[in-house]
Amino acid sequence: MGYPNAMTMPTTVAPAISGILPAQAIRRLADAGAILPDHPFDAGQVQPASLDLRLGGIAYRVRASFLPGRAATIADKLADLALHQFDLSAGAVLETGCVYVVPLIERLALPADIAAAANPKSSTGRIDVFTRVIADGVTSFDTVPAGYHGRLYAEICPQTFPIVVRQGSKLSQLRLRLGDPRESDTALAALHSASPLVSGGTADIEGGIALSVELAAPVGGLVGYRAKRNTGVVDVDRPGACAIEDFWEPITTAGAKGRLILDPDEFYILASKEAVTIPPTHASEMMPFNPLVGEFRVHYAGFMDPGFGHAEAGGVGARVVLEVRSHTVPFILEDGQIIGRLVYERMLERPDALYGEGLGSNYQGQGLKLSKHFR
């Protein structure tokens, strides 16, 4: 493998030729010069199975979302598409419906056998900020090919709430992988049989573990939230600064039917019926959209780290919070309806700290929960 210090596999996992890199391997990559931040890492920036990415000091308002194409750089595109640029050092408001591109503090010089994928952080998805990572000469979003050398950029488009960001704000995270560590359905079934990965009943395993939506509660019980329009701003770096009632309308059950009609282009926070466990040997990702189950998106921030909902890390199962947006037409969700699938991937080695183990993890053991910004 193209990085120093051979990985030492835990005794609970057979040696693998593929896997997600844990925190200690990410730090080793940085020490070897494969991750090149313009400023030293912040405390807690390296997560159990991912690296938080920080915004740089300049933002560009652009006419539209774009990909560079194989023969172009992001800088080339910005020279053509940028409407104006502004400084983020003291903080700035990003307006809803506008598209921004921000160079990230982290650059990459990856070994030939290490690739990466990006995803919004959980708190980013829960405030309906659509953000993706783009890279020079790469023809897809949130994808960094093995051996990539160059800068990374965040494309940011707040959908519902205007947000305040600044240099150093963390909206996205990067997961690095060697080979293809995704578990087959057979291996996933065996893993679930040895230690249940989801609570209740027989797991539906086909291309991942199926998750369903929780809409049944006593009459008047809370099952979700719908975002309000024309609100104040959300400062992404200020936990607990916003009052829930100023930004969200609670959704309560209307009776025994457990049914919710999604209005087009409204944003909802719901929760899975199942409680999920991610063992220390694995990481997971929620597949964000499946047109076979409906024309709606169910998850913006899909990465779940080793230890999420795991008893050893203080979790004992955790619901998956769903960021839901319907497209084009109203859509009826029924209680227990399958809304997505959870894919599990092997870790290359056990992380030196699990999600929830003294890391300030905001969503360990969660039920229905808004982002950390609301009180």
Only one residue has tokens 């921030």, namely 301
Same domain, residue pair 61 and 125: yes
pLDDT higher than 60, residue 227:
yes
Type of residue found at 2: G
Q: What is the mean pLDDT of residues 94-106?
A: 97
Nearest CA among 310, 216, 214 for reference residue 269? 214
Q: Choose the final residue of a domain: 157, 178, 199.
A: 178
Residues 341 and 203 in one domain: yes
The per-residue pLDDT for 296 is 61
Total number of domains in the chain: 2
Q: Are residues 276 and 253 in the same domain?
A: yes
- Looking at the fold, whether 108 and 150 belong to one and the same domain comes out as yes
- In the chain, what percentage of residues exceed pLDDT 90? 60
With residues binned 3-state (H G I as helix, E B as strand, rest as coil), the percentages for the chain, rounded to 5, are: 10, 40, 50
User: Do 141 and 189 fall into the same domain?
Assistant: no
Q: What is the mean pLDDT of the chain?
A: 87
For residue 300, give every residue at least 6 positions away whose Cβ sits within 8 Å of its Cβ, in sequence order, or none. Answer: 120, 124, 125, 128, 130, 288, 323
User: Is residue 361 domain-resident?
Assistant: no
Among 178, 209, 233, the domain-final residue is 178
- C-alpha to C-alpha distance for 251 and 262, rounded to whole angstroms: 11
Residue 52 lies in a domain: yes
What confidence score (pLDDT) does residue 221 get?
Answer: 84
Question: Among 151, 178, 205, where does a domain finish?
Answer: 178
Residue 228 forms part of a structural domain: yes
Considering the domain architecture, whether residues 164 and 217 belong to the same structural domain is answered as no
Does 26 lie in the same domain as 101? Answer: yes
Q: Which residues of 184-244 form beta strands (DSSP E)?
A: 209-212, 222-227, 234-235
CA distance 89 to 166: 6
223 and 336, same domain (yes or no): yes
Instruction: Give the pLDDT confidence score for residue 317 in this predicted structure.
Output: 67
pLDDT at 169 over 80: yes
- A 10 A CB-CB count for 345 gives 19
pLDDT of 366 reads 60
> Is position 5 within any domain?
no
Closest to 299 measured CA to CA, from 248, 338, 340: 340
| Average pLDDT estimate for 46-72 | 94
| Stated pTM of the model | 0.88
Question: Of 31-40, 217-226, 293-302, which gets the smallest average pLDDT?
Answer: 293-302
> What's the confidence (pLDDT) of residue 266?
92
Residue 203's pLDDT band, with cuts at 50, 70 and 90, is confident
CA atoms within 13 A on the CB side of 202: 3
At 81, which amino acid appears? L
Q: Dihedral sign, CA of 174, 179, 183, 187?
A: negative
Q: Can you give the pLDDT at residue 290?
A: 62
Q: How many residues does the chain have?
A: 375
Least confident among 15-19, 41-45, 94-98: 15-19
Instruction: Answer yes or no: are the C-beta atoms of 198 and 87 closer than 8 Å.
Output: no
CATH at residue 256: 2.70.40.10
pLDDT at 284: 92
Q: Are residues 202 and 99 in the same domain?
A: no
pLDDT tens digit string along 343-366?
999 999 999 988 665 545 555 556
Residue recorded with tokens 């989801």? 198
Q: What value does the mean pLDDT take over residues 277-293? A: 79
Q: Region 2-11: what's the mean pLDDT?
A: 37
User: Do residues 167 and 193 share a domain?
Assistant: no
Residues 31 and 153 in one domain: yes
139 lies in some domain: yes
Domain that holds residue 250: 185-346
Q: Which of 21 and 44 is assigned the larger pLDDT?
A: 21
Is residue 374 in some structural domain? Answer: no
What type of residue sits at position 285? E
Distance in angstroms (rounded) separating the CA atoms of residues 153 and 99: 13
pLDDT-derived band of residue 75, with 50, 70 and 90 as boundaries?
very high
CB 179 within 8 A of CB 17: yes
Between 7 and 360, where is the model more confident? 360
In the predicted model, what is the mean pLDDT of residues 80-87?
96
Please check whether residues 215 and 330 belong to one and the same domain. yes
Confidence of residue 195 (pLDDT cuts 50, 70, 90): confident
Cβ neighbours of residue 135 under 8 Å, at least 6 residues apart? Answer: 68, 74, 143, 144, 148, 150, 151, 152, 153
Q: Give 294 or 245, the one with higher predicted confidence.
A: 245
Q: Which residue, chain included where needed, has tokens 């030939």?
A: 112
pLDDT tens-digit profile of 296-346? 666 666 788 898 876 554 456 688 888 888 877 888 888 988 888 899 999
Q: Is the pLDDT of residue 140 over 70?
A: yes
- The answer, yes or no, to whether residue 2 has pLDDT greater than 80, is no
**pLDDT tens digits along 8-20:** 333 344 445 899 9
Q: What local confidence, expressed as pLDDT, does residue 1 receive?
A: 45
Asked whether residue 358 is domain-assigned, the answer is: no
Pairing of strands 282-286, 338-346: antiparallel
Among 29-43, 137-151, 286-300, the least confident range: 286-300
